[in-house]
Homo-oligomer: A and B are copies of this chain.
Amino acid sequence: MRVAIVGATGAVGQEFLDLLAHRGVAGRPVPPEALRLYASPRSAGRRVPYAGHELTVEALPEDGDLHVDVAFSSAGGSISKAHAWSWAAHGAVVVDNTSAWRLDPRVPLVVPEVNPDAVQGHQGVIANPNCSTILALVALAPLDRAFGLTRATVATYQAVSGAGQAGIEELLGQTRAVLDGGAPEPAKFPHPIAFNLFSHDSEVGADGYNLEERKLLLESRKILGRPDLALSATCVRVPVVRAHAEAIHAEFAREVTVDEARAVLAAAAGVRLVDDPAANRFPTPLEASGQDDVLVGRLRADASRPGALALFLAGDQVRKGAALNAVQIADLL
């Protein structure tokens, strides 16, 4: 299987390199000669270490032929918007990490633990959901299957890696400046992020929800096949490097006990329960960083509604929230 990474020099691109070299696709590491790296003309010619070799980053081909079987695209929505179907027409199955095609009815939107069958009948482009959606659904989908999810309210704690390498550098740079007695100087983000947090920096719609929150709602509905799902999210950027957390209240078609929910989650693919009240040990972004699993804990009966549940989760935004989920989609092909 010949594989391309489009956007190979970004934070998610780096994660793809690590995954393809060590984990591989369908159980096999991708050898250097089967891997092509694409990026912007600015990055073309850069040499990137991979599995003991060096690969040269190429500019995207003008004719749309990536010369691979599978292309992981994480170079931004506008690139995918412009080129994804052209790459597909030249024989690549495009696993697209951007938001460009997620809600397009021609395009399966897939979390492999949740709706692997959706990959069947793809037309050349498969979409990888938004990071917050992936992490939430790894925990919520098994509960939905067991009990029928009717409503969820979500508050997110989102790492700066969601804005790529530039987001990480902005957090670290600003933090250094503040510790040295200086002022934070926002560049990538609209507000200071050092020792601060702010409502997610995506466009706010007429209904008051920002784009990140709307993705959580609309993508969840599509992936779960539940166009009626009621979900309201508050998405917040926090000064954390690379894993997101989410506090969720969930209601179901019937009253659910904590023991029932715990049994379902303990058996769920992609979930690791981290739920030790006696030691006050629950999911944290630091523990989730670099992990494949979504860590789930704080499982409790919602004190505000009989039979509802509250829980808290953390997952690596760059890994399961992006690159790993895409590679798992490729496993299915």
Q: CB within 8 Å of B: which residues of A? A: 151-153, 155, 157, 171-172, 175-176, 179, 190-192, 195-199, 201, 203-204, 207-210, 217, 230-232, 234, 236, 238-241, 245, 247, 249, 258, 277-278, 280, 282-286, 297-305, 310, 312
Q: How many copies does the complex hold?
A: 2
For the complex of A and B, list the 9 residue pairs with the smallest distance between their C-beta atoms, beginning with the closest.
A208-B300, A155-B155, A204-B277, A230-B304, A234-B247, A155-B247, A232-B304, A199-B282, A196-B286
Within 8 Å by CB of A305, from B151, B195, B312, lies B151
- The answer to whether A300 touches B198, judged by C-beta atoms less than 8 angstroms apart, is no
Q: In the assembly, what is the distance between CA of A283 and CA of B198, in Å?
A: 7
- The answer to whether A208 touches B238, judged by C-beta atoms less than 8 angstroms apart, is no
Known contacts A175-B175, A300-B207, A304-B230; A238/B197 CB under 8 A: yes
Q: Which residues of B contact A238 (CB under 8 A)?
A: 157, 197, 238-239
- The answer to whether A195 touches B241, judged by C-beta atoms less than 8 angstroms apart, is yes
Task: Choose among A191, A208, A210, A249 the residue with the greatest number of B CB atoms under 10 Å from its CB.
Answer: A208
Q: In the assembly, what is the distance between CA of A241 and CA of B175, in Å?
A: 12
- The answer to whether B204 touches A280, judged by C-beta atoms less than 8 angstroms apart, is yes
Within 8 Å by CB of A312, from B199, B280, B283, B284, lies B199
Task: Choose among A231, A240, A280 the residue with the greatest number of B CB atoms under 10 Å from its CB.
Answer: A280
- The answer to whether A247 touches B239, judged by C-beta atoms less than 8 angstroms apart, is no
- The answer to whether B190 touches A179, judged by C-beta atoms less than 8 angstroms apart, is no
- The answer to whether B303 touches A234, judged by C-beta atoms less than 8 angstroms apart, is no
Q: Which residues of B contact A305 (CB under 8 A)?
A: 151, 230, 232
Q: Which residues of B contact A201 (CB under 8 A)?
A: 280
- The answer to whether A232 touches B302, judged by C-beta atoms less than 8 angstroms apart, is yes
Task: Choose among A196, A240, A305 the residue with the greatest number of B CB atoms under 10 Å from its CB.
Answer: A196
Task: Give 15 CB contacts A-B under 8 Å.
Answer: A153-B249, A157-B238, A171-B195, A172-B179, A190-B280, A199-B312, A203-B280, A208-B258, A208-B300, A208-B301, A210-B280, A232-B303, A232-B305, A234-B310, A247-B247
Within 8 Å by CB of A240, from B195, B249, B277, lies B195
Q: How far is the CB of A265 from chain B (nearest CB, A)?
A: 14
Q: Which residues of B contact A283 (CB under 8 A)?
A: 199
Q: Which residue of B lies closest to A235 (CB)?
A: B247
Q: Which residues of B contact A303 (CB under 8 A)?
A: 207, 209, 217, 230-232
Known contacts A208-B258, A234-B312, A238-B157; A197/B245 CB under 8 A: yes
Q: How far is the CB of A129 from chain B (nearest CB, A)?
A: 18
- The answer to whether A232 touches B249, judged by C-beta atoms less than 8 angstroms apart, is yes
Q: Which residues of B contact A197 (CB under 8 A)?
A: 157, 238, 240, 245, 284-285
Q: In the assembly, what is the distance between CA of A305 and CA of B249, in Å?
A: 13
Q: Which residue of B lies closest to A237 (CB)?
A: B284
Q: Which residue of B lies closest to A238 (CB)?
A: B238
